[in-house]
Amino acid sequence: MYDLAVIGGGPGGYVAAIRGAQQGLKVILVEKDSLGGTCMNRGCIPTKCFFYDTTTLEAAKTSQVITGAGTLSIDPSKMVARKRHVVNTLVSGIEKIMKSYSIEVVQGFGELIAPGRMMVRRANGLSKEYQSRHMILATGSKPALPDFIEVDGHYIQTTDDALDSDDIPARLLIIGGGVIGVEMTGIYRTLGCEVTVLELLPDILTTEDADIRRAMLRLFEQRGVKIHLKAEVKEITLRDKEIEVAFEDEVRGIEILRVDRILVATGRMPVLDGIDTGKLDLKTEGPFVKTNERLETNLPGVYAVGDVIGGMMLAHKASAEAEAAIANILGAKKEVKPERIPRCIWSFTEIGAVGLTEDEARATGRPIRVGKFPFMNSGAAQAIGNVDGFAKIVGDAETGEVLGFHILGTHATDLIGESVLAMSTESVIEELAEAVRPHPTFSETVMEAAMDWSGLAIHSPKKR
């Protein structure tokens, strides 16, 4: 009998297992593939490897001082090999940590038979049942595909395939202008692909602030990405090593596009293999497992965290939920507030954001004031040679509450952390402005945006 059985070893599952073991629970975790889940194996970490490789290339190519820029290129097989090495290092690191806590990690396919009962089928065909007082479902997600698209892994890929491919297509169509599509656009375009993006909605990155979206679209244009908004794929035909895509653009009508590869980035869906929601009478919300704020499903003692319950599909959201679920198992009443989960995107540059967009904030009816600071005015940005970007703070004009923070530019994803801290400690914008930042760093842009909120940015000219 275990205290805790975790199905899934991603950033939701393994964090739950470690935190549970730290708190004295006897923990078993079942993972069908490799520890680290999508994040480590097929998501965050591989894309970040590629992002930094391609960003380094771009920086070198556009450098005014490095010579020989014209001959610089990336060896895709080396890029993929480096990624594999990074992933292996991290996965084995997690394995060691799990072992240090005496967490029983079972390689196999976990099935929830009933609350407290889990059947594990191993690769060798043997099955064994485990019993546990509490269970956490952390089975994650997988690419969601429109039903008319068939992924073959070469011509038509999802990120699962793309992040392990070392052949780079000359012409690439990315279907979907959400976070995944925008990140893959940055990587492939910088590698030299001709990239076209089709997005069904009127804008890319629809969850982000309007200024952020506009700035990212401008970068797309500058870097020569073709983008079609309100565009719908009608037909995909494979013709002798070339794909013919018919799509309907709201403005220009039906168009035909010929590419060498299609990357489908149309969102993700929960993995429910081994969780028969109908048979278990497990409640769902849309395709996702339904939980209350405390991450409890309707089955007694069964919690669910991460992508499988929907919301923002982010590794750190899954980890935060895992920690909250463990606290709740131990008797606390912990919730994870979505407005305090940072959102991070790596494309031609970085986006770090948390909380409400300006439009969302204004829609609340509260008095809103915005502060903004362009990277152009940052000494650090000038020194690094990349001045694309800005920091933007959205606050309650009366209380000084930080409602949202939006940063686009170099290090934006690192910079967003301090705003998250300010929000979770309920600090106010004046405090964000007052804390001294080291010079010359990008962190000053956060401070200056917070100062600008009060009309007191130092490195901005006087407003008229």
Partner 1 sequence: MATEVVVPMLGITVERGTIVEWLKKEGDPVEKGEIIFIVETEKVTTEVESPASGVLAKIMVPVGIEVPVLTPVAVITEPGEEVPAKYLAPPLEVAPPAAEVSAQGVQVFAPASPHAVQIPSDGPIKVVPAARKLAQDKGLNLEALMGTGPDGVILFRDVEVALKAGIVPSAKVSTLGRRLAEKEAIPLEGVKGTGIRGKIMRADVERAIEEAAAPGLGKIIPMDTMRQVIARRMSESSVTAPHIYFFTDVWMEPLLVYREDILPDFERKCGLRLSINDLLIKAVALNILDFPLLNATIKGQEIHILPEVNMGLAVALPSGLIVPAIAHADKIGLREIVRQRADLVQRARIGKLSMDEIERGTFTISSLTQYDITYFTAILNPPQSGILTIGKTREELTLVDGAVKEKKVATFGLSVDHRIIDGAVAADFLQNLKWKLERPVFTFLNL
Choice from 77, 237, 364, 399 touching partner 1 (CB under 8 A): 399
CB of 398 to partner 1, least distance (A): 8
CB of 428 to partner 1, least distance (A): 5
Comparing CB distances to partner 1, the nearer of 28 and 336 is 336
Interface pattern 415-444 for partner 1 (x via CB under 8 A): ----------xxxx--x-------------
Alpha carbon distance 422, 80 (integer Å): 38
CB of 396 to partner 1, least distance (A): 9
Instruction: Look at residue 401 and give its three-state secondary structure.
Output: strand
Q: At what angle do helices 412-424 and 443-453 cross, to 10 degrees?
A: 50
- Long-range contacts, 235-243 (Cβ 8 Å, 24+): 236/148, 236/149, 236/156, 236/262, 238/155, 243/155, 243/156, 243/173
Cα dist from 234 to 153, 226, 246, 247, 419, whole Å:
20, 18, 5, 5, 43
Q: Is 400 in the site for partner 1 (CB under 8 A)?
A: yes
Residues in binding contact with partner 1, number by CB under 8 A: 8
Alpha carbon distance 110, 430 (integer Å): 50
**Residue of 328, 318, 270 lying closest to 296 (CA atoms):** 328
CB-neighbour burial class of residue 303 (10 A; exposed 0-12, middle 13-18, buried 19+): buried
Comparing CB distances to partner 1, the nearer of 194 and 401 is 401
CB-neighbour burial class of residue 290 (10 A; exposed 0-12, middle 13-18, buried 19+): middle
Comparing CB distances to partner 1, the nearer of 353 and 429 is 429
Cis peptide before 440 (omega within 30 of 0): yes
CB of 332 to partner 1, least distance (A): 11
- State yes or no: is 154 an active-site residue: no
CB of 399 to partner 1, least distance (A): 5
Comparing CB distances to partner 1, the nearer of 149 and 428 is 428
Residues 59-118 that bind partner 1 (CB under 8 A): none
Comparing CB distances to partner 1, the nearer of 152 and 293 is 293
CB of 88 to partner 1, least distance (A): 36
Alpha carbon distance 431, 326 (integer Å): 32
Alpha carbon distance 218, 296 (integer Å): 43
Among the listed residues 134, 228, 316, 439, the single catalytic one is: 439
SS (H, E, C) 253-269: EEEEEEECEEEECCCEE
Q: Is 132 in the site for partner 1 (CB under 8 A)?
A: no
Comparing CB distances to partner 1, the nearer of 157 and 427 is 427
Q: Which stretch binds partner 1 (CB under 8 A): 100-108, 173-181, 297-305, 393-401?
A: 393-401
Instruction: Name residue 85's amino acid.
Output: H
Provide DSSP, 120-189: EE-TTS-EEEEEEEEEEE---EEE---TT----SSSEE-HHHHTT-----SEEEEE--SHHHHHHHHHHH
Residues 353-372 that bind partner 1 (CB under 8 A): none
Which runs of consecutive H residues, i.e. helices, occur in 23-142? 37-42, 44-62, 76-100
CB of 47 to partner 1, least distance (A): 33
Comparing CB distances to partner 1, the nearer of 333 and 462 is 333
Comparing CB distances to partner 1, the nearer of 387 and 428 is 428
Summarize as ranges the residues that interact with partner 1 (CB under 8 A): 399-401, 425-428, 431
- Catalytically active residues are 439
